[in-house]
Amino acid sequence: MRFGIIGCGAASIYHVTAVNNIHNARLVGASGASEAEARTFSEKYGTRPFSSTDELLSCPDIDTVCICTPSGLHSRLAVRAAEHGKNVVIEKPIALTSESADEVILACEKNGVTGTVISQLRFSPDIQKTAAALKGNILGRLLMVNLSMKYHRSQEYYDRAAWRGTWSMDGGGALMNQGIHGIDIMLYLAGGVKSVCGYAGHIIRNIEVEDTAAASLIFNNGAFGSIVASTAVTPACGRLLEIHGEKGTIILDENRISKWYIENGGDNFELPRGAAPLFAGDASAPPPEGHEVQIAEFVDALENNREPAVTLEDGRRAVELITSVYKSSETGRTVFTRPE
C-alpha cells in the first residue's frame, strides 16, 4: 500500500512513523503548506517532496493519502482525494460539521474508495477489554455514563499559531480539538446518543472557541450521561470515563481500567492508589504505536476488501455529538441527534 501525506505538521510525524513500520506499506511522498516545507519534511524522512497537493493527488504511484493538516481543511481535502481515486486516512476530526462529514462519506462511496478517521485510542488493550465486556452485556442494562476531560492549554499555546482556537480551522476547542478522542471512546463503548443539552464557552482563554463545556445526555439505550471538558484547568486532570450498569461498574482512567467491579463477577479489581494511567493528564501527545496499529488494520481491511474497524461514519458520529452541544448552548434548547 503506497501512501502520500498531506500536511507536514506535528500530526504527520505519527503517520510517517506508522507507515514506515508497517511491513506492507510504503511512504511515497508528502506535500505541505509550501514546496519548501514539503522539501524539508521529505529530506528528514527520506521521501519524495511534492510541490503541491494537486501534484500529490495526481500521482499514480499513491494509493492512499493521510490528511494531517489543520482540522478546517480535512473535509475538502478528503473529498478531493476521493475524487482522485485515493483512499483516505483522516486525522481527527473527519470534518467540522456533520454536513461536511456527509460530503466526505458520499465522495468516498461515489468514487469507490475507503476511508478511516484516526481514533487510535480504541485499539488500547483495556479499551478493547471494556468493549468486549459491554458487548457481552456483563454490566447488564446501562444506567449512567460520565466522561470528564480536564486538560490545560495556556494562552501562549493559542497565541503561537493564528489558526488555533478559531472556529474556521479548529471547529471547536475543549470538545472538538482536545476532547474528540474521549467522545469517540464513549460512543464506541456506550453507543449512540439521542438527545443533548449543553453549555460551551470561553471563560478563561482569549479564543473564539470554548475552553470549557458541560452537557447532559440521553443515550439510545436509555442510559443517562454527562460530559465535562476544559482546556483551562490548572493542573490538568486528564480523562476519566465512568460506565455504570445494573450489575457493575467499569472506570477508565485515560486508557487504563482503574476500577472493574461486576456483581458476583469473580475477577473484580481496582488499581492501587497512585497507579499511573497510560498517558499523562496534560493532553500531551499520545505514543505513536496507536497510529501504527490503526493504519496497519486499515491496510489489512483494504487488502481483504472489508470495512475498517473505524469507519467514516464513526468519525461523523463524534462530530455530530460535539456540534449538538454547541447548538444546544447557542439556542438554550435540547438537541436531538440523527437516529441510528
Nearest to 179 by CA among 112, 237, 113: 237
Q: What secondary structure does DSSP assign to 174-200, as a single string?
A: IIIIISHHHHHHHHHHH--EEEEEEEE
Return the CATH number of the domain spanning residue range 121-284+317-336.
3.30.360.10
Radius of gyration of the chain (CA): 20
Sign of CA dihedral 285, 287, 291, 294: negative
Distance CA 132, CA 92 (A): 24
2-120+291-310 and 121-284+317-336 agree in CATH topology? no
Express each pLDDT in 255-298 by its tens digit. 999 999 999 876 787 766 655 554 444 444 445 579 999 999 99
Q: What is the pLDDT of residue 338?
A: 84
N- to C-terminal Cα separation, the chain: 33
Q: What is the pLDDT of residue 283?
A: 41
Could you give the dihedral angle defined by the CA atoms of residues 66, 277, 244 and 223, in that order, rounded to the nearest 10 degrees?
-30
Length of the chain in terms of residues written = 340
Domain 2-120+291-310 falls under CATH 3.40.50.80 = no
Tell me if 31 sits within 8 A of 48, measured CB to CB. Answer: no
Q: What is the pLDDT of residue 273?
A: 63
Residue type, position 175, single letter: L
Distance CA 220, CA 50 (A): 46
Tell me if 225 sits within 8 A of 214, measured CB to CB. Answer: no
Segments in the chain forming alpha helices (H):
10-21, 35-45, 53-57, 74-83, 98-111, 125-135, 155-159, 180-190, 289-303, 312-331
- On the CB side of 155, CA atoms within 13 Å amount to 6
Supply the pTM of this predicted model.
0.93
Q: What is the pLDDT of residue 120?
A: 95
**Angle of the 98-111 helix axis to the 312-331 helix axis, nearest 10:** 160
Express each pLDDT in 53-62 by its tens digit. 999 999 999 9
Distance CA 263, CA 247 (A): 5
Q: In what order do the strands lie in the sheet with 26-31?
A: 48-49, 26-31, 2-6, 64-67, 87-90, 115-117
Phi, psi of 315 (to 5 degrees): -65, -40
Grid cell, residue 112, equals: 469507490
Express each pLDDT in 183-201 by its tens digit. 999 999 999 999 999 999 9
How many CB atoms neighbour CB 45 within 10 A? Answer: 18
Enumerate residues 6+ apart whose C-beta is below 8 A from 132: none
Distance CA 216, CA 199 (A): 9
What is the block-wise mean pLDDT of the chain (340 residues), using blocks of 10 residues? 97 96 97 97 97 98 98 98 98 98 98 98 94 95 98 96 95 97 98 98 97 98 98 95 97 94 82 54 54 97 97 98 98 91
In the chain, domain spans:
2-120+291-310, 121-284+317-336
Q: What is the pLDDT of residue 289?
A: 76
Distance CA 145, CA 142 (A): 8
